Amino acid sequence: MRTIAILVLGLAACTGVKEAPPSVPPQAEPVVVAPPAAVAAPPAAVVAPAAVVASPAAAPPQPATTGKETVATAPVAGATAPSKDEAAKPAPPPVKAPAKAAAPSVPTEPSRKDPAPSPVAKAQEPPLDVAALTARLRDTKAIGTFTKLALKNQVDDLLGQFRAHYQSGRKTGIDSLRQPYNMLILKVLSLLQDSDPALARTISASREAIWSVLADPEKFNSLT
Amino acid sequence: MTARTRASVLIFPLAALFAGPSPAAEDATLLKDLTSVIMLLGLPCGQVVSAKRQADNDHIASCKNGYRYRVFVNPEGRVVAQKQ
């Protein structure tokens, strides 16, 4: 009997380990199936929507300066306008909050090597680059495969509207696309806020920067 | 103890362990995903309470409000939710 009991317990322990793999594959498969195509496009779309959500908490940190920094890309932003940084310092409180919240997710990201960037580095996070945002959206488990693909579809649609607008030659009326952009951002944020709040805050803090890229024909063309 | 008794002592605990929660976890993920997709497409549903797989990337989702949708990826790569 003792031998049998030991066997049973040992097998039970082994089966516990085996259970993990079955559950993992389901998620991995979906991600692999549609993602490649969906991921590439969604990032851009995601970028735009993020700004809208930020309005409540991130609205203050969204001054025009941050947008410019974002456009110039994170590395360049720091050197471009020190004077603006000083002016923006009053607002930082809200900016720092999201940045700190995002910090926990940083360690999980394989791409980022600095687990605890300095306050200055955190201040530069809002102007996040599209590639990083894309990667985070692709890797997040807060959104399922179907949802990621549907988001990609909607992002592509919105980008198509921007493209059509610019190809039409009109230089005004881009504001008409602000509402669909905001709606898309809200959708993304609603999907992320519970399961991946750090990414939601990052997107929210970047919404104006993203919009500044979309609303500028030259930047938009360079992006797409 | 007979061989049959020993076998049953081993088999029943194993069966109970292998019949474990992984399918349930998978279901929960899928249901949440389908719920999000239907919401994202602006269709009334509330929450998907069950789903039946028809093929790869093709499911029939039953909503809490009684509606049923076929959620699938069409040849153009778009996610579609068709009310059944």
Tokens 């519970």 label which residue? A194
Structurally, how many domains does chain B consist of? 1
Tokens 């996040």 label which residue? A128
On whether residue B12 sits in a domain, the answer given is no
CB neighbours of B9 closer than 8 A, spacing ≥ 6? A4, A8
CB A143 within 8 A of CB A192: yes
On whether residue B28 sits in a domain, the answer given is yes
Quick: pLDDT tens for A209-222.
899 888 888 888 88
CB neighbours of A192 closer than 8 A, spacing ≥ 6? A140, A142, A143, A199, A200, A203
Rounded Cα distance between A50 and B71, Å, is 26
Residues A14-38: what's their mean pLDDT? 41
Question: How large a percentage of chain A has pLDDT more than 70?
Answer: 42
Rounded Cα distance between A66 and A46, Å, is 18
Residues A72-90: what's their mean pLDDT? 38
On whether residue B1 sits in a domain, the answer given is no
Domain housing A108: 34-223
CB A201 within 8 A of CB A128: no
On whether residue A29 sits in a domain, the answer given is no
Domain housing B35: 22-83
pLDDT at A100 over 50: no
pLDDT of residue A1: 55
CB neighbours of A51 closer than 8 A, spacing ≥ 6? A62, A181, A182, A185, A203, A204, A206, A207, A208, A209, A210, A211
Sheet holding B58-63, edge to edge: B48-55, B58-63, B68-73, B79-83
Nearest to A188 by CA among A214, A164, A207: A207
Tokens 């007979």 label which residue? B2
Quick: pLDDT tens for B32-64.
999 999 999 999 999 999 999 999 889 999 999
On whether residue B9 sits in a domain, the answer given is no
CA B54 centroid distance within chain: 11
Rounded Cα distance between B19 and A19, Å, is 10
Residues 5-64 of A with CB under 8 A from B: 7-8, 11-12, 15-16, 19, 22-23, 26-27, 30, 33-34, 37-38
Residues 27-66 of B with CB under 8 A from A: 29-30, 32-34, 36-37, 40-41, 56-57
On whether residue B27 sits in a domain, the answer given is yes
On whether residue B7 sits in a domain, the answer given is no
pLDDT at A88 over 70: no
pLDDT of residue B67: 95
On whether residue A28 sits in a domain, the answer given is no
Structurally, how many domains does chain A consist of? 1
Whether the predicted model's global pTM rises above the 0.95 cut: no
On whether residue B36 sits in a domain, the answer given is yes
